[in-house]
Chain A
Amino acid sequence: MKEMKLFLGPQHPGMHGNASVHMFVDGDIIKRSYLLPGMLHRGFEKQMERKLWVNNIALIPRVCVPEPDINEMSFAIATEKLLKLEIPERAHWIRMIILELARISAHLMAYGGIGGPTGNYTLMYHAQLDRNLILDIFEKITGARVYHQYIVIGGVRQDLPVGITKEILEFVNDLESRLVEYRDLGIDNASMIMRIKDTIMLPKEVVWELGVTGIGMRSAVGKAYDIRKVAPYARYDQVEFEVPTSSYSDARARLDIKIKEVQQSINIIKQCIEKMPEGPVRVKPGRGQSMRWTVPKGHVYAPIESSRGEFGYYMVSNGGTTPWRVGVRGASYPQGLLGIEKYLPGTRIDDAALWVDTMGICAPEIDR
């Protein structure tokens, strides 16, 4: 039979963000496929070279829309390393709360996202509702819902508003009690299991070949490789949490890990609120007004753990007011761009959207 070309575009409910998959199908089996990136290409890395250190705070969250805080964190850590800047203790803990809330929100979005391609809309509504509550918390802390621009060079932009810790605790306790419902609706649901069990496999050797990190790697290899554990940043070495793994990476196992990670994030947030000291939250990177801040010569790579895997900024400074070169390691780059080309063929058409979902692919991060 003749091959037919199919286009899984950005408007498809299973597609995350403005990317599209081109597929050549025989029946409903994909024979060849590739991702068509570039719809979100704005040249972030180049733009950053033209923007002041302080102005970049407004640009970088856009590298990944569902989880913008990791960009701010990676940028801030990298710059602080170049500046050899010690930030206040409280800022570390506030940063961790923000990052873990962002992780929960990103996981919920991805977990609820499978409702689109599988037709399980109840799950999506629940997940989006809870994400909305997290955005409300973000709005109260940072003043904005999505692009927070809160983690800045030298700490966080301002202190937490009064009473927000109580609200966060109330929310995470409520979410924790409902996690079992998420399991019932998604991975423990018989009709869902028929759809997601033993499909969209990520074999062990593929992990090494592509350089997949994060949940993909932890589920396929069973290795608890998590930047928060192996190279702790902020104060992750002072909180207790587990890195959930699995020995078998199908769509269900990866979703299972997502829910387990939400539980771990909740644990971390609770510990942070308990251990967070009082004190200042921000130091200035130097004297002078912000448009004349300079960063010493040097280069640095600052990896952090995003919801999709290792995410990091490689930055070079030549001592000027702007970065000289910035490179972003997008966590979903390998599985999103290369994985779709190499490992999607052989699966069915309707699995393409699930690949994008369960791998946690973030289109702007690939394009950047």
Chain B
Amino acid sequence: MDENKKYPKSSIFKPLRHFKYLFKRPLSHPLDTVLTAKNADYLNKNNPFRKNKLKNSQPRTGPDNLRGFHVNDWEQCIGCATCEEICPTAAIEMVPRHDLPLVAGKLQQRPVIDYGRCCFCALCVDTCTTGSLKMSKEYVFGDSNPNSFKLMPTEKWQDHEVELGYQKSEVTDLLDLKRIEMEHVSPEERVKSYIEVIRGYSKEFAKLEASRCVECGVCTASCPVQMHIPDYIRAIWEDDIEGGLKIIYETNPLPGVCGRVCTHNCETACSIAQRGEAIAIRWLKRYIIDSAPDEMYEKIFSEPVSEVINAKIAIAGSGPSSLSAAYYLRGLGYTVDVFEEKSRAGGVASFGAPEYRIPDYAVEKDINFIKKIGVNIYTNTKIGKDITLEELQKKYDAVYLGTGFFSARKLNIPGSDHPDVMGAMDFLPITRDFARGAISLEDVNVKPSVVVVGGGDVAFDVARNATRIQILKYGKANVKLTSLETLDILPGSDDEYLEGTEEYINCFLGHGPQEVVLKDGKIKGLRVTKCTRVFDETGRFNPEFDNTQETLLEGEQVFFSVGQAPDYSYIPESLKDKVIIERGKIKASQDGQVAGLDWLFVGGDIFRGPDIITGVSDGHRAAVAIDDFLYNKSKKKEQTEYMKNVREAIKFNNPDLALKPERKRTLK
């Protein structure tokens, strides 16, 4: 229209064009297409003056990805509280539900959503670790009671089945399910020496890996010492190594060992592992220890740990559980003496686990700190020989036994008494001594072809050690590994299997050894038969063999890695009837106190087993129990405020028994 003209040109007939609207479909929506079934019901019920009842012939439903009210699958939900954490309006609150089963990897709580605050942004759905939280197509809810807007979503909405609306997809997922790759030394390079296989994270990668953690804390309950895992991962993410180190030492005095060879139940329980790859908790712990300089250790205790309680405690053995007990007892203010039969402290960490997994410097770093706070370690002192248990009882107020399972166990099959048949615990200390240069290559008895029996981590340790020695000695490796269990039920970890097969180990899984075949006084090989089942219907170990399928695994030497045994020769006759031994383990209370001998405490493999971290937790529990036993009887020196706090912290962090998570197999 021309700007200067005020009105547009028009004619008298122009209004007639509006007749066309008589024949047009109305633009408006009829009420019955707008209302949902619920709306119509509600209006009909609450408006008594309405004569014509509302119908909803074509009830409106939301589109497929409508962000309506939540539904939550309680079977899947683990109560990780990530939804609560991300909620921008603080509408989600986790409510404890102690009626839920207490299992590893799950917390006894479920989200409650306050629909007075909820803005239906669906970030909770996008960040849900399990994918249990979804949204429905329901969007109408009315009630006169304001408290009814707080709802605990279940699989149903208001007790009836609903159609699902918005759900997370790969695109909308806000979690990072892929682990930051850990650098390994290549198989060709690592079999030539005892170089450490895992290189460890760099600062940048450790921070990236730490940024994947959602701080839910489901890992904590499955850790035998209940380490404050989310806290130290957060410290890594915030680049606070000192803070992380302090947090770690609250619950674990052997982080350098556990950062390398822990069985990492925490990673099995990890909430990210529900749909993706678990956070590399073990490597992150190792990262803190590797990047903490020695000076930083001095800051763990800002004042020297002093003897405040006039009582002495003797510890037999210097394995992980003994060192843990020593550390905590020292922290509680006792005089602690540790007696070790071998030339170095560390027990299984120094003589069992292979050098390429946990090098000496890492063990020494942990032990040096324990020595530094005032624990006395006497090596080359065997209980029962150099000093008897009775003497210890007289000299000390309490005794802790952590002597471990250091004897080899062999299978009782024909030919197993041949001198070239060795048990794992006879062989592994030798390799460890060889790796640190204490014995020469010629003295290590490894033949050019070797058969290893067993499917656990230790069997792989034996096989991989044998590979290394063979390559050094003969230039090439020939190691066969056979176990009853097939790959899907193999007790060894996935990492060991993968790394072992990379290192040229031939695995013959699902076979049972029958006979060590001898020829002219030398071993010719191991005769094995197909194993048809390992466990019977009740889940007990009860293998069955198919004798028709027989193989001879050729080899000049056989290693048995079928378990370890304790050595109780140091227990004197006077105590033999009081110390009850059941299935190789000493019977004691939950804290490790032997019934009838209130001064005697046990821990580690001889009490609970089977791994290092459980030993550490035994040590902690026993330390607190010893304190409970001795504190009131002993004279006390004046305590500083700081030492009081240290004592309180050790007692507060006393671990409960861990929940064992169900292992998920990735190898098929």
Interface residue ranges, A against B (CB under 8 Å): 51-52, 54-59, 125-126, 129-130, 132, 139-140, 142-144, 147, 149, 157-159, 161, 188, 190, 193, 197-198, 246-248, 253, 280-282, 284, 286-292
> Chain A contacts of B166 at CB under 8 A?
143
Q: Is B123 an interface residue (CB 8 A)?
A: yes
Tell me the bound Cα distance from A260 to B458 in angstroms: 79
Q: Digit string of B535-576 for contact with A (CB within 8 Å is 1, else 0)?
A: 000000000000000000000000000000000000000000
> Chain A contacts of B66 at CB under 8 A?
139, 143-144
> Chain A contacts of B120 at CB under 8 A?
144, 147
Q: Please determine whether B86 and A158 come into contact, CB atoms closer than 8 angstroms.
A: no
Tell me the bound Cα distance from A287 to B171 in angstroms: 14
> Chain A contacts of B343 at CB under 8 A?
none
Q: How far is the CB of A46 from chain B (nearest CB, A)?
A: 15
> Chain A contacts of B63 at CB under 8 A?
139-140, 143, 161
Size class of the B contact interface (CB-based, 8 Å):
35 or more
Q: Please determine whether B165 and A143 come into contact, CB atoms closer than 8 angstroms.
A: yes
Decide yes or no: A143 and B1 within 8 Å by CB, A54-B123, A58-B121, A289-B127 being known contacts. Answer: no
Q: How far is the CB of B421 from chain A (nearest CB, A)?
A: 50
Q: Please determine whether B85 and A157 come into contact, CB atoms closer than 8 angstroms.
A: no
Closest A residue by C-beta to B174: A290
Q: Is B65 an interface residue (CB 8 A)?
A: yes
Q: Please determine whether B171 and A282 come into contact, CB atoms closer than 8 angstroms.
A: yes
| Pairs A–B under 8 Å by Cβ, sample size 28 | A54-B123, A56-B88, A57-B123, A58-B119, A126-B27, A129-B29, A132-B29, A143-B65, A143-B122, A143-B165, A143-B166, A144-B66, A144-B67, A144-B120, A149-B121, A157-B172, A158-B65, A159-B171, A161-B64, A190-B7, A253-B3, A287-B211, A289-B211, A289-B213, A290-B123, A290-B126, A291-B214, A292-B213
> Chain A contacts of B121 at CB under 8 A?
57-58, 147, 149
Q: How far is the CB of A63 from chain B (nearest CB, A)?
A: 14
Across the interface, B211 reaches (CB within 8 A) one of A52, A193, A292, namely: A292
Q: Please determine whether B88 and A55 come into contact, CB atoms closer than 8 angstroms.
A: yes
Q: Please determine whether A197 and B214 come into contact, CB atoms closer than 8 angstroms.
A: no
Q: Is B620 an interface residue (CB 8 A)?
A: no
Tell me the bound Cα distance from A55 to B119 in angstroms: 12
Dominant SS among interface residues on chain B: loop
Q: Please determine whether A287 and B214 come into contact, CB atoms closer than 8 angstroms.
A: no
Q: Please determine whether B212 and A289 come into contact, CB atoms closer than 8 angstroms.
A: yes
Q: Please determine whether B174 and A158 come into contact, CB atoms closer than 8 angstroms.
A: no
Q: Other than A282-B171, A291-B85, give 10 A-B pairs with Cβ distance below 8 A.
A: A139-B63, A149-B122, A158-B172, A280-B171, A286-B211, A287-B212, A288-B211, A289-B212, A289-B213, A290-B175
Q: How far is the CB of B549 from chain A (nearest CB, A)?
A: 49
Tell me the bound Cα distance from A276 to B21 in angstroms: 37
Across the interface, A288 reaches (CB within 8 A) one of B3, B65, B123, B208, namely: B208
Q: Please determine whether A193 and B127 come into contact, CB atoms closer than 8 angstroms.
A: no
> Chain A contacts of B27 at CB under 8 A?
126, 129-130
> Chain A contacts of B126 at CB under 8 A?
290
> Chain B contacts of A126 at CB under 8 A?
27
Of residues 103 to 141 in B, which have CB atoms within 8 Å of A's CB atoms?
A: 119-123, 126-127, 135
Q: Is B8 an interface residue (CB 8 A)?
A: yes
Q: How far is the CB of B24 from chain A (nearest CB, A)?
A: 10
Q: Please determine whether A190 and B10 come into contact, CB atoms closer than 8 angstroms.
A: yes
Tell me the bound Cα distance from A300 to B122 in angstroms: 28
Tell me the bound Cα distance from A57 to B3 in angstroms: 44
Q: How far is the CB of A240 from chain B (nearest CB, A)?
A: 25
Q: Is B28 an interface residue (CB 8 A)?
A: yes
Across the interface, B123 reaches (CB within 8 A) one of A58, A158, A248, A286, namely: A58
> Chain B contacts of A280 at CB under 8 A?
171
> Chain A contacts of B392 at CB under 8 A?
none
Q: Is B668 an interface residue (CB 8 A)?
A: no
Q: Please determine whether B119 and A147 come into contact, CB atoms closer than 8 angstroms.
A: yes
Q: Please determine whether B122 and A289 come into contact, CB atoms closer than 8 angstroms.
A: no
Decide yes or no: A54 and B6 within 8 Å by CB, A143-B122, A158-B169, A289-B176 being known contacts. Answer: no
Of residues 60 to 79 in B, which have CB atoms within 8 Å of A's CB atoms?
A: 62-67
Tell me the bound Cα distance from A198 to B4 in angstroms: 10
Closest A residue by C-beta to B63: A140
Across the interface, A287 reaches (CB within 8 A) one of B89, B169, B172, B176, namely: B176
Q: Is B247 an interface residue (CB 8 A)?
A: no
Closest A residue by C-beta to B64: A161
Q: Is B658 an interface residue (CB 8 A)?
A: no
Across the interface, A55 reaches (CB within 8 A) one of B3, B10, B123, B211, namely: B123
Q: Is B534 an interface residue (CB 8 A)?
A: no
Q: How far is the CB of B165 from chain A (nearest CB, A)?
A: 7
Q: How far is the CB of B78 from chain A (nearest CB, A)?
A: 16
Closest A residue by C-beta to B10: A190
* Top 6 A-B residue pairs of the complex, sorted by shortest distance between their CB atoms: A288-B211, A290-B174, A58-B121, A55-B88, A292-B211, A58-B88
